[in-house]
Structure 1
Amino acid sequence: MRVAHVRRVTGAVVTAVALGCLPAWSGAGATAAPPAAAAPPDAGAGATTVRRVVLQGAVNVRDLGGHRTAKGREVRPGQVFRADALGKLTDADVSALAALHLRTVVDFRVPLEVRGDGADRLPAGLTAVSRPVNDRGLYGTVMAVIGSADPAEQERVLAGGKAERLMREIYRSFVTDPDTRRQLAATLRDLAERGQSPLLFHCTSGKDRTGWMSYVLLRALGVPAGAAERDYLLSNAYRAEADRATREGLRRAGLMEDPELLVPLQEVRGEYLDAALDQAARDYGGFEGYLTEGLGLDTPVLARLRARLLR
């Protein structure tokens, strides 16, 4: 009887938590997207005003426009967006996306995630591009350990710093994995060329692969490292309620005695970002080397990227 119960709830709940995936949830007061929203109070002193796109079926959707470079230029609003999974959008959400006049949506999810969470719901007429970024099996691992409903197994896999170690390994792989570098570089090249933007890129929770991609883009445009990191860390504010609701749902379903074990997987942390940056320093001598050698972005491509996205 217990096995049957686990199977029934797995499809509805387990797939909603791997890599911070969002269940079919609406934030209180969610409405059609406004043009901009102020940064949360914990965003950090001097943070750029965040142009959040408020949707009912996704919680971590933002316009990367508005950030300032070290030379005082501004990232153009309305050209590049970051998001979490778009498979649970409402009709109103799809209309809100249509109002952004997107031309391209890049999906970094692996096929297992797409099967578990569903294909994107998108406005007609745009180009959908699948560029899977390897999650080192994390999605499948988390689904399996939650689906086991075994507290001892969950402790074995996630407790004692193991979840944090998994996340650091994934972030290092953003730098070391050749396929990941190719997918990220292709997206940056798209943004450098006319006809591909406005462009939106996303993964499942919009925080790790999407967060690293956003950080890399902002740094490539000349946004200071501190401002790029604050943008990265904002996922914690925007995902907090949805992630809390997911943990509570797992507890109530009897799948996890201690759903707080998932917090290191659901959050973004400076130590995760530092792991990727440390790997870039080890492999390429620093962030600039990662851009030019690791991603293969030469001076003309970077110049076009800045010309297209800065004003």
Structure 2
Amino acid sequence: MRTSHEIPSAHLPNLRDVGGWPTTSGGVVRPGTLFRSAAPSDPGVPTDPAVTTLGLDVVVDMRTAAEAERRPDHLPRGARLVRVDILASTSGSLASLTGTLPAAIAEGRVSPDAFLADLDARAVMEHTYEQFVTEAPARAGFAEVARSVLSAGGRPTLLHCTAGKDRTGWAVAVLMAAVGATRDAVFEEYLAVSPAVRALFAPDLERAAAVGLDADRLRPLLDVDAAYLKAALDLVDADFGGFDGYLRSGLGLADDELDELRVALVDA
């Protein structure tokens, strides 16, 4: 079974079907069951045919409360919203700012000189992904995401954050690994959102550059990069001895929950 993954939508950027990727058991992640996107904050989302035809049962919003308040979700009829603030108690991370920082600089709410003075953007992003693995509140959040998928009982579920790249990217990687997707598939799926993410952030980068910000120094905060995913996976191996340990000890998922995820998300 195959899927085109990308779902063109006039109102919901970066919308993709996670189904179709191969698993180590010889099956595939089930198409039409798990989706990912940027925030569905456009009022046109509830009536967008690209969205309504998905038949979404659960929408998981992984943004901070402040992000959700600025740009609230607009959901199609019948979809149930679950909020999981991945970064609620995570210190020192810039992941929650990547959807708003360029605009904040362009609007004068953040000083470009002050922000760029000591910025190592790639290091910041790698640290953010490491926090997804090392910080207990973040692990609890990703466990809640997995259980929200289970609560849908195999019905279509959408995961999103702001741009649908970091928190969403790691959540999807975790779920794919949990159901036995190949490592190559996890990386390929993670990187596949890059064109949509770049298009989403392009206007903000232009606005920031217009006020004198070096956009090239800011870009790593907004890009999708295999090194970021690898930073998290390396810590999964170092701290938990691999994904099985991370899922069970790190996220606290029980064997029956992992079995249910495979039943819900895999076509043999």
Q: Does 1:85 align with 2:46?
A: no
Take 2:28 and 2:34, find their aligned partners in 1: how far apart are those partners? 13
Cα RMSD after superposing both structures: 2.3
Report what 1:204 is aligned to.
162
Q: Secondary structure of the residue that 2:121 maps to in structure 1?
A: helix
Partner of 2:140: 182
- State whether structure 2 residue 257 is matched by structure 1 residue 301: yes
1:149: how far off? 6.0
* 1:120 is the counterpart of 2:73: yes
**Is the Cα contact below 8 Å between 1:108 and 1:133 reproduced in 2?**
yes
**In structure 1, C-alpha distance between the alignment counterparts of 2:18 and 2:10, rounded to whole Å:** 20
What is the deviation of 1:89? 4.8
For residues 58 and 226 of structure 1, what CA distance do their matches in structure 2 show? 27
CA contact (8 A) 2:61 2:161 kept: yes
Aligned equivalents of 1:165 and 1:236: distance in 2?
A: 19
SS in 2 for 1:52: coil
* TM-score of the two chains, using structure 2 as the length reference: 0.87
How far did residue 300 of structure 1 move?
1.6
The secondary structure found in structure 1 opposite 2:29 is coil
Q: Structure 1 residue 257: deviation in Å?
A: 3.2
2:117 to 156, 161, 166: 156
Matched-pair contact (CA < 8 Å) for 2:46–2:76:
no
Query: Which region of structure 1 is more displaced relative to structure 2, 270-279 or 129-138?
Result: 129-138
Work out whether residues 104 and 196 of structure 1, in 8 Å CA contact, stay in contact via their aligned partners in 2.
no
Percent of residue pairs identical? 35
Does the CA contact (< 8 Å) of 1:109 and 1:132 recur in 2?
A: yes
Counterpart for residue 262 of structure 1: 218
Which AA in structure 2 matches 1:271? A
State the one-letter code of the partner of 2:195. A
Per the alignment, residue 248 of structure 1 pairs with: 206
**How many residues of Structure 1 are paired with residues of Structure 2 in the alignment?**
258
- What aligned pairs does 1:104-119 form with structure 2 within 5 A after superposition? 104-116=58-70, 118-119=71-72
- Take 1:108 and 1:290, find their aligned partners in 2: how far apart are those partners? 20
Aligned counterpart, 1:232: 190
Q: Which moved more, 1:218-227 or 1:143-152?
A: 143-152
* Secondary structure, aligned partner of 1:129: strand
Q: What is the CA–CA distance in structure 2 between the aligned matches of 1:130 and 1:150, rounded to whole Å?
A: 31
How far did 1:282 drift?
2.4
Match of 1:51, SS?
A: coil
Partner of 2:117: helix, strand, or coil?
A: helix
Question: Aligned residue for 2:149?
Answer: 191
TM-score, normalising length: structure 1: 0.76
> SS where residue 105 of structure 1 aligns?
strand
Structure 2, unaligned stretches of length 5 or more? none
Aligned to 1:25: none
Report the Cα offset of residue 96 of structure 1: 2.8
1:108–1:203 Cα contact (<8 Å) kept:
yes
Listed as ranges, the gaps of 5+ residues in structure 1 are 1-47
Opposite residue 199 of structure 1, the aligned amino acid is T
